Chains A and B, each alone.
Chain A
Amino acid sequence: MSDHRNRELSERLIDLSADYAMGLQDHGDQQELEHLDPDKSARQAFEAVAAELDIAYAETDPIDMPAGLQERLFAAIPSPGSSKPAAAQPELRLTSDHTDVAGSPQMHSPRGAWFPWLVAAASLAVTAGVLLQPAPQAPQQAPALTAAEKRDALLEAHANDEDLLRYAWTPTGDPAVVGQVTGELIWDEATDEGYMTIGGLEVNDPTEFQYQLWIFDASRPLGELPQHGDAFGGLLTQRPIDGGVFDINEDGEVVIPIDPKLMVKQGVAFAVTVEPPGGVVVSDRSRVPLLAIPPQG
């Protein structure tokens, strides 16, 4: 078989294995994948990569478990003699959409089938071992500025110009607005730096819900959210940029840095929504307690 053909096969196997690991493979691809990867080693290698990514994201931004769940898990452990977890147990299988795979990684597979993961695991283990050595003492650094101090510095830097967007909050009738709304939003388009100062929103339990900021960028394409109609000049129908998830505590007015997940080219308005813990990728904007918008006509 030619090198070109081999490379094509490899690329095709990468495509199919990556789709498989993401749970995004088409039904029609399954047979081809079985043929190209009979020992499942490529699939398992990509699954292991996806698992490593998942672990890294989860550790970087963990979500608190609901109270009592761990106790329920303890209570579900089978009592002695009732159900020993052993090879004799019926094989757990995924649903028909995933019928090629057992419900767990097949770590009893022939060693050859696991070679890619063996190499991967060895590499990770060695690296982890190196990284787990006591870290050298970090050089003494000046204490980090608080968000309030950074906000003050930004305001001071723009004290003599008008380059800073500076909007007071416009509260809505959302039940999260529980008092006199205070504060403002400032945004420096040149550096994509900004801060919110907020008072008057309901204190949230981060395991129940969180607030999320959205930045409306006039340079981005319009979307379709007809429920917002022409309100605010149709602004809320635009596709916004995630400005970060945040909480309101009992400290009264809080200062929160804005954390845009994409570059903002022309931020013209901002909205705070109420979302599930961790925030969402796409908000339906059903709850929008606060807006920071240009002064209306």
Chain B
Amino acid sequence: MSGNDHTPLLTEVANGDQEAMRTLIKRYSGLVWSLVRRKISSQNDAEDLVQEIFADIWKSAHRYDPSIGSEDTFVAMITRRRIIDQIRRIGRSPTQVTLDAPNARIACSENEDIERFDTTPNAKRVMRVLRSLRPERRQTIELAVVHGLSHSQIAESTGMPLGTVKAHLRRGLDEVRTLLNPQLSADSKGVTP
């Protein structure tokens, strides 16, 4: 789905190369759709948003610098921003989080064999990092990242106090950041003002 091992296309897209844009759509439309559909409950809204996201990528491709970061992360960052924007416009998961509070979905639970997932090595690595977190941190990250729930929705869903949810999510993300990028933890770059 993502293109860690692909030749970046965004430079060509930035030059107006339509064929490169076609290839980029083929390469990333599945990823973008999966990200959008998890958080936008209306299929029509989700399809519209995917089209907006690719229009955004087309117009913003010149910002991409292949020496700095991977193309799929760039695409996912644009997608995330658009989803966050859309959720703010239409309200957060209105059809899914209205009634009882309940439970948390922990992908990558201890019972699952990550190596058997049909996915990229990098995704497996991220999942291994997630699995190394305390269950409550992993749970809050999944509810926020995968399902787009707010702090209060996660609190209601898990029964944790709001402050605890915030702490788990913030510390959990920072833990993932340092585990994915051990150099950062050594010199604290990126979080020191």
Contacts and interface: CB of A to CB of B under 8 A. Distances in A.
Contacts of B62: 85-87, 108
Contacts of A62: 1, 30, 34
A40 B34 CA distance: 27
A14 B125 contact: no
A22 B145 contact: yes
Interface in A10-39: 10, 13-15, 17-19, 21-24, 36-37
Contacts, number: 348
B9 interface: no
B1 to A, nearest CB: 5
Contact of B190 (A41, A86, A278): A41
A49 B122 CA distance: 13
A37 B127 CA distance: 29
B47 A66 contact: yes
Contacts of A83: 58
A178 interface: no
Nearest to A284: B99
Interface in B106-153: 106-109, 111, 117, 119-127, 130, 141-151
A50 to B, nearest CB: 6
Place the interface of chain B in its size category. 35 or more
Given A59-B1, A277-B37, A104 B103 contact: no
B72 to A, nearest CB: 6
B51 A17 contact: no
Interface in B84-120: 84-85, 87-89, 95-109, 111, 117, 119-120
Contacts of A89: 59
Contact of A92 (B5, B56, B73): B56
Place the interface of chain A in its size category. 35 or more
B73 to A, nearest CB: 5
A256 B95 CA distance: 27
Nearest to B106: A261
A282 B96 CA distance: 6
5 contacts: A53-B126, A55-B72, A57-B107, A76-B55, A279-B105
Interface of B: 1-2, 4-5, 13-16, 18, 21-22, 25-26, 29-31, 33-35, 37-38, 41, 43, 47, 50-51, 54-65, 68-70, 72-74, 76-85, 87-89, 95-109, 111, 117, 119-127, 130, 141-151, 157, 159, 166, 169-171, 173-174, 176-177, 180-184, 188-193
Given A49-B173, A49-B180, A97-B88, 9 more contacts: A13-B192, A47-B80, A63-B37, A107-B68, A117-B68, A119-B181, A220-B102, A281-B97, A282-B101
